[in-house]
Structure formats: C-alpha cells, structure tokens
Structure 1
Amino acid sequence: MTTEIVTTGAGDARITWHPATAPRLLLALGHGAGGGVDARDLRALAAVLPGHGVSVALVEQPWRVAGKKVAPAPKTLDLGWHGLWPALAAAGLPVVAGGRSAGARVACRTAAGLGARAVLALSFPLHPPGRPEKSRAAELLGAGLPTLVVQGGNDPFGRPDEFPPGDRDLVEVPWADHGFAVPKRAPLGQDEAVAIVTDAVVAWTASLG
C-alpha cells in the first residue's frame, strides 16, 4: 500500500494504492460527503479485490485532504476527480470509476467523458431522505457504461425497489442502511452484509474481462 498526492484544479487530492500482483483492472473509489475512505465498504473492497486481479485506488477529494468538514458543490467535486484521473490512467489499466454516495454521483457524471471502463455505484443517493421527488436518477442512467449499483435494503437515500428500470446491475444488501450497517435484529451479521458487497463486486469485475 502506497499513497500519492495529486494536484488538481480543486486542490491536492490523495490516492491510496492497493495493488494486485497481476492486475487486469483498476477500481478507483471515491468517498461520500459525510466520510472518507475509511468507510466499511471501501476498506473491504481495498482488502479483497487485489486478490482477484483488481487493483484498488482509494481517492480522497481535496476538501478532505485539506481537513474541511463540508463537501463543496458537485462541479468542484467533478473538477477534483478530473484532475486526478491522469494519475489513475497512468497505471496502464482499464479504470472502473466508482465511489460511495456522493462519490458514486461523481463517478456517474464523469465516467464516460474520462474514458472509464465501467461504473460502480455504492449506496447511490437516489434522492434526499424523505424527498423521492428530488430524484437523481438521470445521473445514474446517464453514465452510459456498464454499471453496478450496490444498495442497502433500508437506505433512506433510495431503497433498491425505488430505482427506475435501466441497463445496469443492482445488488441489494438486505436490512442495510446507507453505510451498509445492519441492525442487531437483522437475520444476517455485519460481516455477512459486507461480504455481499465484496462478493458482488468481485463477480461483476470478473465479468468485465
């Protein structure tokens, strides 16, 4: 594992590399607006995917690197992602653009223009909690690339059954919330919930070739 600081138009971003021994893909993962790359799903993917031929790059947006508490506007997030993309592409591998929550939105908005191979959307915030009329489905549907959505069954930002039809794969993590946490009363444990996420991404990335 190594880290790299990359200067972007939005400030300095940080990439933490988790390389596979003989990689065939690179999965770049951005964080959400309320947390960093220590989220349980991002940590788990960085631990598991390299063993399946997929290098993982955990990307911290400039606002997080600078120690700020509040995420900037979407256009600034996209600016940071565009600025660090050459460092990802320099690995010489097909790059899957991904992220959780706000990071998933960034990936969806920018992937096609940046030449990504596919898009991974973890806990895509389909709408603000309690505001289903404020749909962000257009961002997801507009990615125009092979897309996997992994969504908690009880995510207040959008349950799996709220997602509109579209040409993508969707995997549900039963009982899970926006952070893929499951309540103690759930019939599956926390480790099992996270394993649903990693198993789904392992299988999906294998299908990308």
Structure 2
Amino acid sequence: MSDSEIVETGAGAARITWHPADEPRLVLAVSHGAGGGIEARDLRALAGALPPLGVSVALVEQPWRVAGKKLAPAPRTLDTGWRDLWPAVAKRGLPVVAGGRSAGARVACRTAAELGAAAVLALSFPLHPPGRPEKSRAPELLGAGAPTLVVQGGNDPFGRPAEFPGPQAFPEGAYELVEVPFADHGFAVPKRADLTQQEALDVLTGAVGAWLGALAL
C-alpha cells in the first residue's frame, strides 16, 4: 500500500509516494530522470522489492514533473527541489539513502554530503552525453562523499560500465558498480538478449537489496 504527500519547495510543489516497509530500518529516497517520472521500470521494481527487506522507498517527483512540464529545469533548480524536500524523507528518524536515476542520480551525488545522506544509489548515472565521452561528469559521482552504488546497463550510451573510474578513484567511502547485462539507459534489454526483461530487473533489485543490507548504518 502506497501513499503520497505534496511537499512545497523553492522550485515548486514536489510529490513523494511512499512504499513503506512494515519494520523499516532505513529509507531509500529516489527520484526520476529528465525524460520520465517515477513510472520508470527500475524505480517501480525497487518499490516492489525493497519494502519486504526493511527498506521504505520514497519515490520523489520533482516539481517540474508535478507541474506537468515536459522539460527538466537547470541542475541548480533540481538541486533546490531535492534539498527542500529532504526533511520530509528524513522526518521518520531513519537513515536515508539518496538515490536517483540518470539526472536524479546526479542530483543525489551533488547534494549527498551537505544533506547528510547515509549513502548514494546512482541508477543509470549519465557519465557523459551519448557520443561525447570527453564531457565527463565523473567529478559529480566521485564527489558524493558517501558510500555509493552505481547500477549501470551494459549498453548504456550515457556511459558503459567499463568507462567508469575504478574504486581507487573514489576519495571517501566505498564505491561499487554493478552491470545489468545488455541493458540500455532505461534498463530495457533486447529480445535477443541472453536474459529476459524480468531477469534484468532481478539483477538490479538483487544488487541494490544486497548493498543496502550490507551498509553499516
């Protein structure tokens, strides 16, 4: 059973849809990317898989999505919305893991240290624009300042797993990267792949669940 709440921010009204655990030990607050909302397949999968593991999932819709706009605003505005809604996901007194997919992952990385996030989950982190590896956003990822898990599709044009910096480049905390074979930026896998769409999502949810379970919180 999910429930939602509206939170006013400096960027407009955001919406949080809660998928609570019966006996939660932490909260995963996770937002969408610039091209979609919380209906993304990976976010839906996490909302279904994690509450039985003691993780309450807060799916966050940024103000521009709540307002019905088609284009995401500048990063500074995205960060404002995330900062201002943070007290609403932290109010339950549990450790909060900051997460997001694509642009949402960038927001989580940029703000994790200042908000005191327990860890960061980066789904489909857009390491660079497609075909532009020289435009690297690795500094955002490496500057998160908290234990970080990246879950990346093996065929993500925004950055394939082999393009990411190694763990030795991460200056603080633990950094892990899990590949979902054959998957694209939205974790879709082609029909000819050696695993089904459900199996791909199981790789994702299994990795996230195990990582969250191993965090020393």
Specify if TM > 0.5. yes
> Take 2:40 and 2:178, find their aligned partners in 1: how far apart are those partners?
19
Q: In the alignment, what sits opposite 1:112?
A: 113
Identity %: 77
Q: CA deviation at 1:144?
A: 1.2
Q: CA deviation at 1:115?
A: 0.6
Residue 180 of structure 1, aligned match among 168, 187, 195: 187
Supply the AA of the counterpart residue of 1:198: T
> Take 2:34 and 2:20, find their aligned partners in 1: how far apart are those partners?
26
CA distances 1:60-106 after superposition (whole Å, capped 9, x unpaired) = 00000000000000000000000100101101110000000000000
CA distances 1:7-55 after superposition (whole Å, capped 9, x unpaired) = 0000000000000000001000000000000000000000110000000
After superposition, residues 55-204 of structure 1 pair within 5 angstroms as 55-166=56-167, 167=170, 168-204=175-211
Q: CA deviation at 1:207?
A: 0.5
Q: In the alignment, what sits opposite 2:33?
A: 32
> Take 1:32 and 1:61, find their aligned partners in 2: how far apart are those partners?
9
> How many residue pairs were aligned?
209
Q: CA deviation at 1:190?
A: 0.2
TM superposition outliers: structure 1 runs of 4+ over 4 Å: none
Asked whether 1:52 is paired with 2:48, we answer no
> Take 1:20 and 1:95, find their aligned partners in 2: how far apart are those partners?
14
Q: In the alignment, what sits opposite 2:7?
A: 6
Aligned to 1:38, what secondary structure does the other structure show? coil
* RMSD (CA atoms): 0.6
Q: CA deviation at 1:208?
A: 1.0
TM-score w.r.t. structure 2 length? 0.95
> Take 2:7 and 2:92, find their aligned partners in 1: how far apart are those partners?
14
Supply the AA of the counterpart residue of 1:29: V
Aligned to 1:81, what secondary structure does the other structure show? helix
Aligned to 1:32, what secondary structure does the other structure show? coil
